[in-house]
Amino acid sequence: MEALECIKTRRSIRKFKENAVSKDTLTAIVEAASMSPSWKNTQIARYNIVENADIKKDIAENATLGFEHNCGIINGAPQLVVVSMVGMRCGYEKDGSFTTSKEDRWEMFDAGIASQTFCLAAHDMGVGSVIMGIFDEDVVAKAISLPEGEKVAALIAIGYPDQECVAPRRKTTDELMRVL
């Protein structure tokens, strides 16, 4: 798929077929996501693929902050990706001080780029995805035994699409762009 077509046709997918995405396809998606740019090439994003039904159910039922919409998406997806971030690198100097006034917020910036690259690569391979931002990060971290020093950035439900989606309305380029 051409890059622009991939960008323009990717949609958030919230209904999935039952079959799981294979390890080979997941590896190819993560390999593509590894080419994302990152702050000083720190590459802090990690992709924790939850296939275990009990762990997925635990996250759906106990980590979605009462937002049933996300609970349903996670329960209905064959796999859930927990995007995590290795701490104390992105935005930091070697002595532990912050490099810029954005302090450690570059971590989320990089995790966002990585997540979008992951979703675009997935779309190119026929795999649907939706990024989810409403969850309790501590509950998710505990559910997946997240390694010490990592934080949860986002959840991405993935699987083969079982719905056709129309793009929600976008702002016009006049609204988005300012030329000085």
Interacting residues with ligand FMN (CB under 6 A): 11-12, 14, 69-70, 73, 130-134, 165, 167-168
Coil, helix or strand for 16? strand
Q: Which own/partner contact pairs does 105-111 have at CB distance under 8 Å and 24+ positions apart?
A: 106/39, 107/44, 107/151, 107/153, 108/153, 109/39, 110/36, 110/38, 110/39, 110/42, 110/44, 110/45, 110/85, 111/44, 111/45, 111/83, 111/85, 111/153, 111/154
Q: Which is nearer to ligand FMN, 96 or 133 (CB)?
A: 133
Q: Which is nearer to ligand FMN, 66 or 133 (CB)?
A: 133
Q: Which is nearer to ligand FMN, 44 or 77 (CB)?
A: 77
Q: Which is nearer to ligand FMN, 40 or 69 (CB)?
A: 69
- Taking CB atoms, the residue at the shortest distance from ligand FMN is 133
Shortest approach of ligand FMN to residue 48 CB, angstroms?
A: 17
Shortest approach of ligand FMN to residue 95 CB, angstroms?
A: 32
